[in-house]
Amino acid sequence: MLARNVRVGADEIDLLVAWGSLLVAVEVKTLLGRDPAEEFTPAKAARFRRAGQGLRPVPGRFDLVTVCVRHEGVGLRWLPGVC
């Protein structure tokens, strides 16, 4: 992990990570009882991508990490290249 909560104008990138030589912007969504990916709307994806375009260097990939908290436990998914 290179940075967290990176502000770019009015937008924010939750995490910047190095995946080998690739710079990856990561959005993290957490919800109780249902799939957080449902909350990652096209409008939110556009804001996420716009934030990344404001960085130098521009991230080479934009990923989504979802954390779903349920009575049975916690589910974690890393979804590469979501936008």
The H-assigned helical ranges of the chain are 42-53
Please provide residue 39's backbone torsions phi and psi, each rounded to the nearest 5 degrees: -85, -10
Residue 29: partners with Cβ closer than 8 Å, 6 or more residues away? 36, 37, 39, 40, 64, 65, 66, 67
**pLDDT, position 43:** 95
Beta-bridged to residue 51, according to DSSP, are none
* Confidence class for position 4, pLDDT limits 50, 70, 90: very high
Going from N- to C-terminal start, the domains of the chain cover 3-79
As its CATH architecture, domain 3-79 has 3-Layer(aba) Sandwich (3.40)
Is the peptide bond prior to 80 cis by the omega test (within 30 degrees of 0)?
no
**pLDDT, position 42:** 96
Residues 83, 73: Cα–Cα separation, whole Å: 28
Query: What is the per-residue pLDDT across 15-57, written as a single tens digit (0 to 9) for each?
Result: 999 999 999 999 999 999 999 999 999 999 999 999 999 999 9
